[in-house]
Amino acid sequence: NAGVTQTPKFQVLKTGQSMTLQCAQDMNHEYMSWYRQDPGMGLRLIHYSVGAGITDQGEVPNGYNVSRSTTEDFPLRLLSAAPSQTSVYFCASSYSSGAYYTFGSGTRLTVV
Amino acid sequence: KQEVTQIPAALSVPEGENLVLNCSFTDSAIYNLQWFRQDPGKGLTSLLLIQSSQREQTSGRLNASLDKSSGRSTLYIAASQPGDSATYLCAVYNNAGNMLTFGGGTRLMVKP
């Protein structure tokens, strides 16, 4: 009963590098989302998906890319890391519209 | 654009007190509302979900109410304990039920 699993837990990147944050859920949830949490800004939605093959932009999508080829996985790609992308990233999933959201434990990313 | 505000931003109370955390939102066309708890350096733990047709929801010492027309929700914690110390976040669902907008949170400290 793993829930939502995020890897890695910590990552340091140099400016301009690219990387993928992994998110997997084993609850057969249709909806998955990525949020970033910054001091003073709260949690903000980056991208979300309502099912395999369907993704859409949230509030702060610039610099990030997503795809959803399976129900279980929803990776977040940083195309060219910038110091402004230093943040804690959370993946979340939900069974359906309006249902409980379950969050992963987060990835703390530092871009130097 | 939906905006969610939580007051107070921080709260310190002695053990045993009953307390109320407030959440307000600007657009009353919400699907549901969910309250979360976040411990330092951790992910979000779901506490209560209130459907838009409900007025309140209870779980143990927690009671959450919702008044859609006035754009308000409250989280009532009875007989507070030091273990309740955490940040409490409210999140409103958009009218499609597939996106969350978070408040900035209330940081609660319960002193023994």
The pLDDT tens digits for B66-94 are 999 999 999 999 999 999 999 999 999 98
Map residue A99 onto helix, strand or coil: coil
CB contact under 8 A, A101 and B98: no
Contact criterion met (CB below 8 Å) for A85 and A78 = yes
Contact criterion met (CB below 8 Å) for A60 and A70 = no
Residue B57 has pLDDT above 90, yes or no: yes
In the sheet that holds B4-7, the strands lie side by side as B4-7, B19-25, B72-77, B62-67, B56-59
Mean pLDDT of A13-42: 96
Residue A82 has pLDDT above 70, yes or no: yes
Contact criterion met (CB below 8 Å) for B99 and B2 = no
Task: For chain A, positions 22-61, list CB contacts with chain B under 8 A.
Answer: 31, 33, 35, 40, 42-45, 48, 50, 58
pLDDT given at position A11: 97
Chain A residue closest in CA terms to B93: A98
CB contact under 8 A, A100 and B89: no
Chain A residue closest in CA terms to B40: A105
Q: Nearest by CB to A100, from B31, B46, B104: name it.
A: B46
pLDDT given at position A103: 96
Cis peptide before A8 (omega within 30 of 0): yes
pLDDT given at position A2: 73
pLDDT given at position A1: 61
Asked if B94 has any chain A CB less than 8 Å from its own CB, the reply is no
Q: Nearest by CB to A48, from B43, B98, B103: name it.
A: B98
> Which of B100, B106, B107 would best serve as a mutation to test chain A binding (most A beta carbons within 10 A)?
B100
pLDDT given at position A97: 86
